[in-house]
Amino acid sequence: MTNEMPSATETTPEGLKRLIEHIGGAAAQGHLDPEFVRKLGKRIANELQEMKATRLPGDRELAGLENGIEGLLLAADRKYGARLTRSLQKLREHETPFAGGESNGSQSH
């Protein structure tokens, strides 16, 4: 048995791109919590910034990754917003109507 150290690994632009696509697909199918997606998106953005620091400006491999991360974060926010809207709608459906058929929130003071 040898005690060799594993070789260092490096995150590649292609790896980040595939990760963004994978997370985005799972989030779109409702398999990931939007808050978790936001945290992953921020971590991926940090990784991209580190990658940019070691590469030449205008590196074609990095093109589109920022847009992909931004899209991922926006999708998570839309999903979260949609979930909030559905929850509010369900709550409103179950409100007890007051005399006159108006809910508490629509009565004038």
Look at residue 94 in the predicted model and tell me its pLDDT: 65
Q: What letters, b where the CB count within 10 A reaches 16 and e where it falls short, cover 47-74?
A: bbeebeeeeeeeeeebeebeebbeebbe
pLDDT in tens, the chain (109 residues): 556 654 567 888 889 999 999 998 888 888 888 888 889 999 999 999 988 888 766 677 777 888 888 888 887 776 665 655 566 666 667 665 554 554 445 444 4
Whole-model pTM over 0.75 = no
Look at residue 22 in the predicted model and tell me its pLDDT: 92
Look at residue 84 in the predicted model and tell me its pLDDT: 55
